[in-house]
Structure 1
Amino acid sequence: MKPLLDRGPSLPLRLFFALLASIGLITLDHYTNSSVQLRGYLTATVSPLFYLANLPQDMVFGASEQFMSQQKLLEENRTLKNTLLLQNGQLQRFQFLQQENDKLRALLGASPVTEGKRLIAEVLAVYSHPFSHQIVLNKGSRDGVIVGQPLLDDLGVLGQVVSVGPTSSRALLIADNTHAMSARVERTGQSVVAEGIGQSDSLRLIHLPHSTDITEGDRLLTSGLDGVFPEGYPVAKVVRVHRDARQPFLQVTAEPYAKLDRIRYALLVWPHRGISSADPQIVEELKQAEQGQD
């Protein structure tokens, strides 16, 4: 039965005409240039269709690339953060080691007036109850430590050893209220006695007459008169001088050079018992005495 709406050429005839038209257009395009302009118009006309057809694919690819780029950036950011954290940790360790190295170099470079044996000790414990300032060191009698031995840091005098065990020792700091030491004013040579008052940042000079020439900023050095500390080590700086006529003596306060509240390492000193080459006059006198005996 024939379809009611079948009113045109048959399909084979349509195919024949389409093939014939295609061959004719191909031949015309090959031998003439008249179709170039037409093809350009057609290309320009259908170009938006190509863009529209490719738009979903481009959007999908663009979103995928953006997501991958974001993921990559996040991953790189995470990696950089981890690397930065590790490097910061290493940097802090390096800074700590640098500080420790500088501290040890400074301790080894602390050259006393009378040269002798020196030994670096590490602080094991700190007794920090009111008015008492003592520390425990990791060096003892096996290392040659003796009672009364002076203790220094890279800035000045710390204290002296008061008890010695085989592998450790206990030292009394100059800030302890039971400690007193002989010192002299660098500017004038005046002998003074500095005693602790139980505060790590303060010493008191005792029994100074009102006529004593001492001012704020004066440096106090060990005098060597107490038989414990060698002469010439920095002790403290005068920070307050109060003259009160109602008091029998001057009220003088000094600040220790040594950081008594931040001790990690200390320098044990054995003063040289022989004659130093820095004493040519005494050496010459000894030579003359030897020649006289001969």
Structure 2
Amino acid sequence: MQPLFAKNTSVFIRFGILASLSIILIALDKRLPDTVSSFRTLLSSVLYPVQLVANIPAEVYRIAAHTLKHPEGGIQDNAEIKKLNAKILSLQVQLQRMIALETENQRLRELLSSSSRVNGKSVLAEILSIDVDPYARKVLVNKGSVHQIKPGQPVLDAFGIMGQVVHVGKFSSSVILLTDPNHAIPVQVNRNGLRTIAQGTGQSNHLKINFIPNNADIKKGDLLVSSGLGGLFPPGYPVAIIRSIHIDPAQPYLSVIAEPTAHIQSSREVVIIQDEPDLRDIQNLLETQD
């Protein structure tokens, strides 16, 4: 295979060329976002077969391990097990919504004489790979535009919100995780409705909770759920649990760290929520209860 640079090329020249190319690509992404997005979509479609092939060893290992553990069923049982796992995941996502609503309903019982469960269309997906960039927290899933996936759609595992879709190819999509430093999500304390923002820190098990006043009613162990503000994430789904609270009298806000409820490091199957009811429908429901 022909090398990219000649053997006698200086390290500084190589660095200069690569740095220049990086700057040009960044500039093009800013100036011609539609063109770059189309190129990214085309590239993801071309690379999708390669990603599938790269995922084969892990899949073969998983099937072989199961076959050795359960030789009486063999490979034939794997399809049934996969279907059962998908069903369990779907039920767990519905269950977490109900658990979060249980506490909320105690506060809203005086306002509403009855409650209405809100469901959205969703699709199951598998994580194909993890971004190797140490400064980003992203994963690739095996669903794309042919499955009606769109940028901004929320992604959950069986335990809570994991992130949202940022780039969509024909057969695969890139998902930014909650823990990415460039990601933030509106949340509220499930116990009392206190609203705030959860922002990624770059660490796999840490979220920074912003703008909590020193005298706020918040404590270690509180569950944070999505508030629905902004319209990107559906309300009421688990996001994180408060793990530490530090008070600095010289600062107006608390230093709060939370741990995501989603199993970001280990979950393989996820749910992508494709649509949610218009917020005006929810407002109409509330008005009918007055």
TM-score tier, shorter chain, comes to: 0.5 to 0.7
In 2 relative to 1, CA 186–152 (structure 1 residues): closer, same or farther, beyond 3 Å?
Answer: same
Q: Tell me, yes or no, if the aligned pair for 2:234 and 2:276 is still in contact at 8 Å.
A: no
Shift of residue 246 of structure 1?
2.6
Shift of residue 123 of structure 1?
1.0
User: Match for 1:236 among 240, 255, 265?
Assistant: 240
Partner letter of residue 90 of structure 1? P
Does the alignment pair 1:135 with 2:139? yes
Superposition TM-score, scaled by structure 1 size: 0.61
In 2 relative to 1, CA 166–236 (structure 1 residues): closer, same or farther, beyond 3 Å?
Answer: same
- 1:63-89 C-alpha deviation (Å, 9 max, x unpaired): xxxxxxxxxxxxxxxxxxxxxxx8645
Shift of residue 100 of structure 1?
5.0
User: Match for 2:86 among 104, 117, 121?
Assistant: 104
The structure with the larger Rg is: 1
Q: Secondary structure at the match of 1:248?
A: coil
Q: Secondary structure at the match of 1:267?
A: strand
Superposition TM-score, scaled by structure 2 size: 0.62
Q: Secondary structure at the match of 1:210?
A: coil
Does the alignment pair 1:204 with 2:208? yes
- 1:147 is matched with 151
- 1:270 is matched with 274
- 1:23 is matched with none
In 2 relative to 1, CA 217–92 (structure 1 residues): closer, same or farther, beyond 3 Å?
Answer: farther
> Using the alignment, how far apart are the partners of 2:232 and 2:264 within structure 1?
19
Partner letter of residue 211 of structure 1? N
- 2:40 is matched with none
> Using the alignment, how far apart are the partners of 1:93 and 1:283 within structure 2?
57
* Aligned 1:1-294 pairs, distance under 5 A: 88=69, 90=71, 103-109=85-91, 110-111=93-94, 112=97, 114-273=118-277, 281-282=285-286, 284=288
Shift of residue 166 of structure 1?
1.1
Shift of residue 114 of structure 1?
2.5
- 1:32 is matched with none
> Using the alignment, how far apart are the partners of 1:188 and 1:261 within structure 2?
29
Q: Secondary structure at the match of 1:116?
A: coil
In 2 relative to 1, CA 266–87 (structure 1 residues): closer, same or farther, beyond 3 Å?
Answer: closer
Q: Secondary structure at the match of 1:108?
A: helix
The percentage of aligned residue pairs carrying the same residue is 33
Q: Secondary structure at the match of 2:86?
A: helix
Shift of residue 277 of structure 1?
9.5
Q: Unpaired segments of 5 or more residues in structure 2? A: 1-66, 98-116
Runs of 4+ in 1 over 6 A off after TM superposition: 91-99, 275-280
> Using the alignment, how far apart are the partners of 2:183 and 2:257 within structure 1?
15
Shift of residue 210 of structure 1?
0.5
Higher RCO, 1 or 2 (CA under 8 Å, sep at least 6)? 2
How many residues align structurally? Answer: 201
> Using the alignment, how far apart are the partners of 2:251 and 2:281 within structure 1?
46
> Using the alignment, how far apart are the partners of 2:252 and 2:73 within structure 1?
53
> Using the alignment, how far apart are the partners of 2:170 and 2:269 within structure 1?
19
Q: Secondary structure at the match of 1:221?
A: strand
In 2 relative to 1, CA 157–91 (structure 1 residues): closer, same or farther, beyond 3 Å?
Answer: farther
In 2 relative to 1, CA 91–162 (structure 1 residues): closer, same or farther, beyond 3 Å?
Answer: farther
In 2 relative to 1, CA 140–280 (structure 1 residues): closer, same or farther, beyond 3 Å?
Answer: same
> Using the alignment, how far apart are the partners of 2:125 and 2:197 within structure 1?
27
Q: Tell me, yes or no, if the aligned pair for 2:153 and 2:165 is still in contact at 8 Å.
A: yes
Shift of residue 220 of structure 1?
0.3
In 2 relative to 1, CA 168–219 (structure 1 residues): closer, same or farther, beyond 3 Å?
Answer: same
